[in-house]
Amino acid sequence: MNRVTFIVLLAVMVVLLSLAVAFNWINLSEAYGSGPPYYNRTANMDKWISPVPVLVAVDALMAVVVALVIYWVRCARRS
């Protein structure tokens, strides 16, 4: 693996991780609100759902993608 490919893969991983962090931040901020304690959750309690299951699924997918990229880079560097 040449140096340019390694740098591009590193940049892609940083962008993907940044997107995952932004996704988590936006969803948690929207779910729990910025007003009094858990304002958005109590305003429409009958319609509110927890964002945690979706966030766990997205984070698990991102962890798998990052692990696969790291594995691929390590295998490519050995050969």
pLDDT tens per residue across span 50-76? 889 999 999 999 999 999 988 998 898
47-74: burial string, b at 16+ Cβ within 10 Å, e else: eeeebeeebeebeeebeeeeeeeeeebe
Residue whose token pair is 């766990």: 56
Above pLDDT 70, what percent of the chain? 86
Q: How much is the pLDDT for 37?
A: 62
Average confidence (pLDDT) over 6-35: 89
Residue whose token pair is 């984070």: 59
- pTM of the predicted model as reported, rounded to 2 decimal places: 0.77
* Cα end-to-end span (Å), the chain: 8
